[in-house]
């Protein structure tokens, strides 16, 4: 079938066969399909949707466009976690060492932040010297030595996704459940996993703001994971406010190290709670314990014994970073930054927080990227002082902005203040951090 016939078939609402999808993916990647033809088919897929068979065929074709890692020489289960992205979402840095300390290998291929969401690679680069550009050989060697590695995607992993995602971004075809599933799962399945836990965020700082949309995405991701023989579970978690205490690269690493050191304060508890839940579910899927409760016990023991912190220290050394951050996490915080309190203009209860707005503010002061080529100032960030449900008085600090220049403060202060809704009554919205668990092998 020609390009035009495949596009016409999908445009008219029929299902494509696996060979037709393979022709599309290889043609888009090797240039046999023009970008306008690829974009036209993406739009037809966006509008008419994909059946489960098409979704899995697309995932398989995208996965086959590149290399797949093979960990058969490692005598341990191999598992990972993927988050759909949020603000202050830093759990990877806690989960990888925790899970590795419990005997599961974690090949964590991560991404960079863009727009209001942060990225694990940027957070890691705030540790002096930490190398996130490992070759496949270095990546595997690091996992063999300390149980986990965290690195960027090489050009050999799912190259079709790189091509298709760039076109989706330019043609308003990103927000399609089957296209998102194929994009995420082609990259994760290339890691050669036994188990995968997905953290699907919902709320004001999430990609899927509505719970119903997050649930559809979670179900579709789990369905495809299962079809590929990977034990898979999704946790739908709250992103109606930043997770935990800090937003900003170095300060988020600081929060993670404090948690791994057993020194989490109250504001850091949600980060610990979510990290422990996700880690425990990975361990259960890998058979390390036979219940989530039993796995949580193991997670707590590896925190209490310092085994998880030791794993993190070992990993930082192996990836070229300065392991002293594990002993003096305060060194991650830059005392020369300007500190500006964001004060409440009225008294009452915090009933809503626009988490995306907070993420955008941190990006605007240099903590994230507006464009992919932007340079990051790792030190700047925001400390959350008040969360949903808290009672406040006029003049109380809602949060503290840490920035580089005085002239950044006023416009950001206005946007940050407006990110909080303060009402005379506490609202009864669902404030649970963990909303629902989807699927199980």
**Any idea which residues carry the catalytic annotation?**
82, 161, 168, 183, 187
Closest distance to ligand URA from the beta carbon of 85 (Å)? 7
Instruction: Assess contact for 347 and 425: CB atoms under 8 A.
Output: no
Distances (CA, A) of 336 to 8, 404, 405: 60, 8, 11
By beta carbon distance, the residue nearest ligand URA is: 183
Distances (CA, A) of 182 to 70, 164, 283: 20, 10, 25
Closest distance to ligand URA from the beta carbon of 301 (Å)? 33
Of 85 and 321, the one with the shorter C-beta distance to ligand URA is 85
Closest distance to ligand URA from the beta carbon of 136 (Å)? 20
Of 169 and 430, the one with the shorter C-beta distance to ligand URA is 169
Of 45 and 318, the one with the shorter C-beta distance to ligand URA is 45
Closest distance to ligand URA from the beta carbon of 141 (Å)? 26
Nearest CA-CA partner of 99 in 165, 45, 150:
150
What is the spatial distance between Cα 17 and Cα 159, in angstroms, rounded to a whole number? 22
Distances (CA, A) of 409 to 16, 72, 152, 402: 53, 53, 33, 9
Of 66 and 321, the one with the shorter C-beta distance to ligand URA is 66
What is the spatial distance between Cα 16 and Cα 50, in angstroms, rounded to a whole number? 9
Of 184 and 380, the one with the shorter C-beta distance to ligand URA is 184
Other beta carbons within 10 angstroms of residue 166's beta carbon come to 12
What is the spatial distance between Cα 278 and Cα 281, in angstroms, rounded to a whole number? 5
Closest distance to ligand URA from the beta carbon of 294 (Å)? 32
Closest distance to ligand URA from the beta carbon of 200 (Å)? 11
Of 103 and 115, the one with the shorter C-beta distance to ligand URA is 115
CB under 8 A, 24+ apart: contacts of 401-404: 401/339, 401/340, 401/341, 401/342, 401/361, 401/365, 402/248, 402/251, 402/334, 402/337, 402/338, 402/339, 403/337, 403/338, 403/340, 403/365, 403/366, 404/337, 404/338, 404/365, 404/366, 404/377, 404/380
What is the spatial distance between Cα 403 and Cα 100, in angstroms, rounded to a whole number? 35
Contact residues: ligand URA, CB under 6 A: 165, 174, 179-180, 183-184
């Amino acid at each position: 079938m020609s390009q035009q016939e495949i596009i016409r078939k999908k445009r008219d609402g029929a299902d494509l066969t696996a060979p037709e999808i393979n022709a599309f993916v290889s043609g888009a990647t090797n240039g046999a399909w023009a970008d306008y033809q690829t974009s036209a088919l993406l739009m037809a897929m966006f509008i008419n949707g994909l059946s489960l068979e098409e979704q899995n065929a697309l995932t398989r074709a995208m996965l086959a466009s590149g290399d797949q890692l093979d960990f058969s020489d490692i005598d341990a289960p191999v598992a990972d976690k993927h988050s759909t992205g949020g603000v202050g979402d830093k759990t990877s840095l806690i989960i990888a060492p925790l899970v590795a300390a419990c005997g599961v290998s974690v090949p964590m291929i991560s991404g960079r932040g863009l727009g209001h969401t942060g990225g694990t690679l940027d957070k890691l680069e705030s540790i002096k010297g930490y190398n996130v550009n490992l070759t496949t050989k270095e990546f595997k060697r690091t996992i063999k030595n300390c149980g986990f590695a965290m690195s960027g995607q090489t050009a050999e992993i799912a190259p079709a996704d790189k091509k298709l995602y760039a076109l989706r971004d330019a043609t308003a075809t990103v927000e399609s459940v089957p296209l998102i599933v194929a994009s995420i799962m082609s990259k994760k399945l290339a890691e050669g996993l036994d188990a995968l836990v997905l953290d699907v965020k919902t709320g004001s700082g999430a990609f899927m703001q509505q719970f119903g949309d997050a649930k559809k995405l979670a179900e579709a991701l789990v369905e495809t994971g299962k079809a590929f023989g990977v034990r898979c579970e999704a946790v739908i978690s709250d992103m109606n406010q930043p997770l935990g205490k800090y937003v900003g690269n170095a300060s988020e690493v600081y929060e993670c190290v404090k948690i791994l050191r057993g020194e989490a304060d109250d504001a850091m508890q949600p980060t610990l709670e979510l990290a422990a839940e996700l880690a425990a579910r990975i361990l259960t899927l890998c058979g390390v314990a036979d219940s989530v409760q039993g796995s949580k016990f193991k997670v707590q023991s590896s925190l209490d014994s310092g085994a998880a912190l030791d794993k993190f220290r070992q990993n930082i050394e192996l990836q070229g970073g300065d392991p002293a951050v594990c002993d003096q996490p305060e060194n991650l915080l830059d005392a020369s930054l300007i500190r500006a309190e964001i004060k409440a203009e009225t008294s009452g209860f915090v009933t809503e927080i626009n988490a995306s707005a907070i993420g955008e503010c941190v990006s605007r002061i240099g903590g994230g990227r507006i464009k992919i080529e932007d340079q990051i100032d790792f030190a700047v960030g925001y400390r959350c002082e008040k969360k949903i449900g808290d009672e406040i008085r006029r003049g109380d600090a809602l949060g503290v902005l840490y920035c580089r220049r005085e002239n950044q403060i006023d416009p950001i202060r206005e946007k940050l203040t407006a990110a909080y809704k303060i009402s005379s009554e506490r609202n009864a919205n669902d404030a649970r951090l963990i909303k629902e668990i989807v699927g199980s092998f």
